[in-house]
A = this chain, B = another copy of it.
């Protein structure tokens, strides 16, 4: 009898979980936004519904057969819906309590502060006076975030004046998302640590990666992070493992960090947490012994975790965004003809400017060459013309 995993969300993260599920014989059922969503196109068992509807989530679990565990590809499930599921006897992984730290940045910042985890200076914001004071303290520029609902650069505003978030403050006062402000960190680069943790306690951590964000969205990931100071590597992993244990995380967690130099000492501060598979881990499909998608399923089903090591010296993942002009299949043929080793992943989404439509992945021994190959492949798929390939 196959184990049944119910997942809230029908985007590319659910779609990319489908191969992992069928490989290990797990039945994946998803609550999708529409019958044509990225995951709905490839899952036999896709239910159209709303993640904030207790009735829709309950139906997702019912089956038959009844789901063994509920998990998520995004954080937009209200706590009361999660609590109802937990009371019904179906395991919720990560748990509602753990997940609250990924759903609400104020909850996350307060908990990290209590744990003494390094992070940017921050403060809750309820009026323009709070914000003006904070701006003076940090030297004039800061980042205001909505505590809930932000992703891919949404819900984040870099400000120098308090009146730049007047609209958000009004919304917060009227019951909308609460706000916090963080110092604008002069980071050297961004890193991400991804790990998986089972309910019975085992943790496996993938190599620390470097992530390149453009317009608040992940654009490129290099695994492992090049020239990473061993003390920074150790500190980054220690923080992620400690958070996983302290927050009792189950499943995959991504911890996004800034690498910083403070008083001449290299180190990291925690930027964001996600308790689900994550764009920073797409490289693991082609580049690691166990992908984040299979590992997440194994973790939430409390199965032994797989080897997370990299399969090649370097792996580069580059996102493909909407905006291409030519036909996608023509572009695909061009990319495959140019580079027989490139791995192309297409999400089946309608093209829209700036939307994540897929990703490409290359691996090997020469990082400089891999970066050119990944960026060229992504650019062609996005519809850019490239100069003639010197190798052809």
Query: Would you give the 0/1 interface string for A326-338, flagging 1 where the beta carbon is closer than 8 Å to chain B?
Result: 0011001100110
Judge if A289 is at the interface, Cβ distance under 8 Å: yes
Known: A44-B41, A44-B43, A298-B336. Is A345-B304 also a contact (CB below 8 A)? no
Which residues from B are CB-within-8-Å of A328? Answer: 25
Judge if A150 is at the interface, Cβ distance under 8 Å: no
Tell me the number of copies of this protein.
Answer: 2
How distant is A309 from chain B, measured CB to nearest CB, in Å? Answer: 8
Which residues of A from 1 to 22 have beta carbons under 8 Å from B? 1-3, 15, 18-19, 22
Judge if A88 is at the interface, Cβ distance under 8 Å: no
Known: A22-B15, A44-B41. Is A304-B333 also a contact (CB below 8 A)? yes
Determine if A340 and B22 form an interchain contact, defined as CB atoms under 8 angstroms apart.
no
Judge if A59 is at the interface, Cβ distance under 8 Å: no
Which residues of A from 202 to 226 have beta carbons under 8 Å from B? 204
Determine if A304 and B23 form an interchain contact, defined as CB atoms under 8 angstroms apart.
no
The residue in chain B whose Cβ has the minimal distance to the Cβ of A349 is: B25
Which residues of A from 336 to 364 have beta carbons under 8 Å from B? 336-337, 340-341, 343-348, 358
Judge if A163 is at the interface, Cβ distance under 8 Å: no
Which residues from B are CB-within-8-Å of A2? Answer: 348
- Please pick, from B304, B332, B340, B341, the residue contacting A337 in the complex, using a CB distance under 8 A: B304
The residue in chain B whose Cβ has the minimal distance to the Cβ of A302 is: B333
Which residues from B are CB-within-8-Å of A24? Answer: 332, 344-346
Judge if A322 is at the interface, Cβ distance under 8 Å: no
The residue in chain B whose Cβ has the minimal distance to the Cβ of A22 is: B42
Judge if A306 is at the interface, Cβ distance under 8 Å: yes
- Please pick, from B41, B307, B336, B348, the residue contacting A304 in the complex, using a CB distance under 8 A: B336
Determine if B22 and A303 form an interchain contact, defined as CB atoms under 8 angstroms apart.
no
Which residues of A from 272 to 318 have beta carbons under 8 Å from B? 289-290, 298, 303-307, 311-312
* Complexed CA–CA distance, A46 and B15 (Å): 18
Determine if B304 and A340 form an interchain contact, defined as CB atoms under 8 angstroms apart.
yes
Which residues from B are CB-within-8-Å of A311? Answer: 311-312
How distant is A324 from chain B, measured CB to nearest CB, in Å? Answer: 13
Which residues from B are CB-within-8-Å of A346? Answer: 23-25
How distant is A10 from chain B, measured CB to nearest CB, in Å? Answer: 13
* Complexed CA–CA distance, A332 and B304 (Å): 9
The residue in chain B whose Cβ has the minimal distance to the Cβ of A335 is: B304
Which residues of A from 33 to 66 have beta carbons under 8 Å from B? 41-44
Which residues from B are CB-within-8-Å of A312? Answer: 311
Which 10 A-B pairs rank lowest in CB-CB distance, beginning with the nearest? Answer: A25-B346, A19-B19, A304-B336, A304-B337, A307-B340, A307-B341, A22-B42, A306-B340, A23-B345, A303-B333
Residues of chain A touching chain B, judged by Cβ–Cβ distance below 8 Å, are 1-3, 15, 18-19, 22-25, 27, 41-44, 204, 289-290, 298, 303-307, 311-312, 328-329, 332-333, 336-337, 340-341, 343-348, 358
What would 14 A/B residue contacts be, using CB atoms closer than 8 Å? A18-B19, A18-B22, A23-B346, A24-B332, A24-B344, A24-B346, A27-B41, A298-B336, A303-B332, A303-B336, A304-B336, A306-B336, A306-B340, A311-B312
